[in-house]
Amino acid sequence: MNPETVDAAPVVLEARRISKSFSGVQVLFSVNFELRAGEIHALMGENGAGKSTLVKILSGFEQPSSGEILLDGHPVKLPANGAAEALGIVIIHQEFNLAEHLTVAESLFLGREVTRFGVLDRKYMRAETRRVLDLLGCRVDANALIGSLSIAEKQMVEIAKAISRDARVVFMDEPTAVLSREETNFLFRQVRKLRDQGTSFVFVSHKLDEVIELTDRVTVLRDGQWVKTAPTSMLDGESIAQLMVGREMSSLYPAKTEPDVDEEVVLRADSISTDYVKDASFEVRKGEILGFSGMIGSGRTELMEAVAGLRPRLSGEVTIRGEAVPSGDVHAANRCGLAYMTKDRKGKGLLLNSGMTANLTLQSLDQHTSLGYLNPTSEAASLEKARRRFDIRVRDGNVVARRMSGGNQQKLLLAKVMETEPGIIIIDEPTRGIDVGTKQQIYHFISALARDGRSIIVVSSEMPEVIGLCTRVAVMREGRIVGMLEGDEISEQEIMRYAAGLKRMAAA
Amino acid sequence: MSANEETIQSTIHRRTWRDVDLRAVAPFAALALLLVVGAIVNPNFIGLNNLANVATRSAFIAIIAVGATFVISAGDLDLSVGSMVAFVASLMILFMNSGVIADPALMLTAAVVFAVAAGAACGLANGLITTVGRIEPFIATLGTMGIYRGLTTWLSQGGAITLREPQIQELYRPAYFGSILGVPVPIAIILAVTAVAAFILYRTRYGRHVVAVGSNSDVARYSGISVNRVRTIAFVIQGLCVAIAVLLYVPRLGSTSATTGILWELQAITAVVVGGTALKGGAGRVWGTICGAFILELVGNIMLLSNFISEYLIGAMQGAIIIIAMLVQRSLVRKS
């Protein structure tokens, strides 16, 4: 099923039957992958398909649970923590690993500075930096501070860093996510030039058009499994999208209940703009579950934070049951019965060093306060209720949040948000990093809340989740709502078309 | 899966010795140890008179440190408290010397209100500079530390400011030297301040917010807490505690100078840290702080009463204590 090209170049790096589990959850199932000399190989898949894990394993940042890695045909154990660079395997991260206060030359030689008689040989390092930058056709000054460069230039410096280490294999994780079209074109020209000199690239991207334009071969992963490897010329955007999502719906989800068409509109967002989100409008009815889909970085969280008052709006109106909510005012939004549940439960949701009670009641301490006195009995009663209602299972009632499992943390966070008895709940990534059993429970909680007459917005990067739960789905791309799907239109293919920019809602 | 088993076990949760937070207990254990050491070094040490004396002398640092517990729990730091003591005390004495109110009792009452307001205002200034001005608390209070100290030097013209009215002096003296039901007034005030502070920190909404902000200000913000207001109020509480310390300090000598309260900020911070409050915020222990203040004073006292360590090494000893306290805390964290 994998048509061989006639004059196939030798394979540089190969993964054979790689499996990987993180604390009992298997994320890669016996995946094969081969990278030839002088090719640009796209690695595609939905969020959570296992692309990042595979990249980390092939660059030595993670060790596989089983399977082997071959470099030039010989089995190797890649050294950890970036030491694989010595073997010519370099990874360019999505977030740049550049210190803003260093110059370009200093960044290129960071950690392997050249010295003469114990003194830094700046002249040599500058000359070498110039040489590598010229090789890339990049006109950045070797003495410029990293902080003064544009994002595209930083990306080029990262690539120069890779080249200056005589990289044979370069992994690029969403390199164009932050680039403009011209910058992307420039980057692609350099990448092709290096490819023609024999460097191999692994290109991880969600942008189907770029994959088609740049890459030689495509490998698609789905749910941690290898699906297909084929020359890019034999595929088109539609077929790649099909390969990425082709999956059946399971019984993970409760039956959908659609709200009446004439049910009251409880939340109306009108042309919301922030520094990233542009002109986003939507409305939610009572008892409705509205989904928000799109790629990571499409502006969903920014939009929701702006609606919830956690982030200032540049323009636009939010009205809850007819009452206007001022920009950047969390309290006003809370008073109107809107609650936002963050996707970052460890960084923004829970106090990891505090126990369950302190976390549960943090947002709703007023309910337990009389004349300034915080009643521990009332708090304990709330915790007992929440533990039963959301099935929070812990061995020790005094456990700090840090020691709870991801699933229990998520249930505790949901319980915390529900303590304020909101009528509208925005749930950002309801099931990130939790096991399937708990996922199912959370889906049922969400469904039950909606049947109770609450309105719920589910923001999720996992398409099956949005499809399985929601009666309407908004798709965002680059800060805009580009599609609003209903009923039978809600399918992975359709969402993917909007999210990848192949299709766009007609301007209303 | 053992989930069912887990739920069952959770409902019959028992309190065992392992539930006791060693970090909370450590300062009290250290205090007990010091008492034993002191008794061995010098039998006079363990006498009620000596201990009451030590506790009385620790009053200033203890009360200031209670305020510092709030600021530090909220993730901030206040270096200006020593200067603030000198400044507020100077203002208070100058006010009493001004003679705007003839009746001594009325004058004293007004002066007390004045001092408390001045302390709160100084704290508010610190709070607003850190939160509204968005300046690191270390830098902001380093600045106000210089300002309060400089203003004191200017008010006193480099010398001392002394309470002149003998009637007020007479009336005010018992505030430091008197006793209530046999308990010296400073000790009673330490206990009262600490009890109120503990109530606020552990049993009110505001206290919970302080710990949340110090523990993770993002979580606090996403929970709808006004982070800046919580931090500012912590600085005001610190100012109020400084004012209370001043109210005890003025009757003691009836005078202040530009050198009043020098290095008190470090002693207060030491007391807080020795008491088990994390310097990076998120965990406040008011009773531990008091314990820390006693430990500092006790160590000095033991050194004075013993013959084999020079009392000139007290500063070095206090410095060593803070390092030892941190090391002990760290090792306890690792174990738990």
Residue A90 CB partners (closer than 8 Å, separation 6+): A59, A161, A162, A165, A167, A169, A170, A171
Contact A322, A398 (CB under 8 A): no
Residue B3, pLDDT > 90, answer no
Query: Which one of B203, B218, B219, B277 makes the best mutation probe of the A interface by having the most chain A beta carbons within 10 Å?
Result: B219
DSSP string, A337-380: TEEEE-S-IIIII--TTSBHHHHHHGGGGGGGEETTEE-HHHHH
The pLDDT tens digits of the residues spanning B97-133 come to: 998 998 999 999 999 999 999 999 999 999 999 999 9
Percent of all residues in chain B with a pLDDT value above 90, rounded to a whole number: 70
A397:B212 CB<8 A: no
* DSSP classification of residue A205: -
Q: How many CA atoms lie within 13 A of B181 on its CB side?
A: 3
Closest residue in B to A328 (Cα–Cα): B224
- How close does chain A come to B10, measured CA to CA in Å? 5
The reply to whether residue A362 touches residue B6, judged by beta carbons under 8 angstroms, is no
Residue A1 has pLDDT above 80, yes or no: no
Give B-chain residues touching A417 at CB under 8 angstroms. none
Instruction: Tell whether the model's pLDDT for residue A193 goes beyond 90.
Output: no
Is B135 or A23 the better-scoring residue by pLDDT?
B135
State the average pLDDT over residues B43-50: 86
Instruction: Give this prediction's pTM.
Output: 0.76
Choose the closest CB to A353 out of B9, B19, B215: B215
Contacts 24+ apart (CB under 8 A), A497-501: A497/A238, A497/A241, A499/A206, A499/A293, A499/A294, A499/A295, A499/A298, A499/A475, A500/A206, A500/A207, A500/A208, A500/A209, A500/A237, A500/A241, A500/A295, A501/A207, A501/A208, A501/A209, A501/A477
Average pLDDT over all residues of chain B? 89
Residues of chain A with Cβ-Cβ distance to B209 below 8 Å are 365
- B196-228: pLDDT as tens digits: 999 999 999 999 999 999 999 999 999 989 999
pLDDT at A250 over 90: no
Q: With helix as H, strand as E and coil as C, how does chain B read?
A: CCHHHHHHHHHCCCCCHHHCCHHHHHHHHHHHHHHHHHHHHCCCCCCHHHHHHHHHHCHHHHHHHHHHHHHHHCCCCCCCHHHHHHHHHHHHHHHHHHCCCCCHHHHHHHHHHHHHHHHHHHHHHHHHHHHCCCCCHHHHHHHHHHHHHHHHHHHCCCCEEECCCHHHHHHHCHHHHCEECCEEHHHHHHHHHHHHHHHHHHHCHHHHHHHHHHHCHHHHHHCCCCHHHHHHHHHHHHHHHHHHHHHHHHHHHCEEECCCCCCHHHHHHHHHHHCCCCCCCCCCCHHHHHHHHHHHHHHHHHHHHCCCCCHHHHHHHHHHHHHHHHHHHHHHHHHC
pLDDT on residue B334: 56
Whether B223 and A395 lie within 8 Å, measured CB to CB: no
> Are residues B35 and B294 in contact, defined by beta-carbon separation less than 8 angstroms?
no
User: Residue A418: its pLDDT value, please?
Assistant: 94
- Within 8 A of A416 by CB-CB distance, chain B residues are 223
Average pLDDT, chain A: 85
Q: Order across the sheet with A40-44: list the strands.
A: A74-76, A66-71, A11-22, A25-36, A225-231, A217-222, A40-44, A200-204, A169-173, A89-92
Average pLDDT score over residue span A304-333: 92
User: Minimal Cα distance from A305: which residue of B?
Assistant: B222
Residue A2 binned pLDDT confidence (cut-offs 50, 70, 90):
very low
Residue of B nearest to A372 (CA): B204
- Tens of pLDDT, residues B13-31: 444 555 567 777 888 998 9
Mean pLDDT of B176-193: 94
Q: Is B55 exposed, middle or buried (0-12, 13-18, 19+ CB in 10 A)?
A: buried
Q: What letter represents residue A169's amino acid?
A: V
Q: What per-residue confidence (pLDDT) applies to B9?
A: 41
Query: Which of A3-7, A73-77, B53-57 has the weakest average pLDDT?
Result: A3-7
Percent of chain B with pLDDT over 70: 93
Q: Find, in chain B, the residue whose alpha carbon is nearest to that of A331.
A: B224
Predicted confidence (pLDDT) at residue A507 exceeds the cutoff of 60: no
Asked if residues A443 and A467 have their Cβ atoms less than 8 Å apart, the reply is no
Contacts of B218 in chain A (CB under 8 A): 344, 347-348
Tell me the nearest-neighbour CA distance from B14 into chain A, angstroms.
9
Question: Stretch B175-195: mean pLDDT, rounded?
Answer: 94
In this complex, which of B7, B209, B222 lies closest to A349 when CB atoms are compared?
B222
Contacts of A352 in chain B (CB under 8 A): 215-216
- Residue B130 CA to residue B233 CA, distance in Å, equals 12
CB contact under 8 A, B13 and A347: no
Min distance B42 CA to chain A CA atoms (Å): 43
Q: Which residues of B touch A353 (CB under 8 A)?
A: 215, 282-283
| B212 to A420, B132, B135, B160, B330: CA distances (angstroms) | 17, 20, 21, 43, 21
* B202–chain A nearest CA distance, Å: 8
Q: Which residues of A touch B283 (CB under 8 A)?
A: 353
pLDDT at A4: 45
Do the Cβ atoms of A358 and B219 come within 8 Å? no
Q: Which ipTM score applies to this complex? A: 0.83
> Contacts of residue A310 in chain B, CB cutoff 8 Å?
221-222
Whether residue B221 and residue A358 make contact (CB cut-off 8 A), yes or no, is no
Chain segment B243-271, per-residue pLDDT in tens = 999 999 999 989 999 899 999 999 999 99
Q: State how far residue A66 is from chain B, nearest Cα, in angstroms.
A: 25
In angstroms, the separation between the Cα of residue A357 and the nearest Cα of chain B is 11
Q: What is the pLDDT of residues A419-466, one digit of tens each?
A: 999 999 999 999 887 766 788 889 999 999 999 999 999 999 888 889
Which residue on chain B is closest to A376 by alpha carbon?
B203
Quote the percentage of chain A above a pLDDT of 90. Answer: 38
Contacts (Cβ under 8 Å, ≥6 apart) of A474: A282, A290, A291, A292, A293, A481, A483, A484, A485
Question: Are B84 and B122 contacting, i.e. CB atoms less than 8 angstroms apart?
Answer: yes
CB of B277 closer than 8 Å to CB of B73 = yes
Q: Which residues, 6 or more positions from B258, have their beta carbon under 8 angstroms from its beta carbon?
A: B86, B149, B152, B153, B156, B158
Residue B1 pLDDT: 38
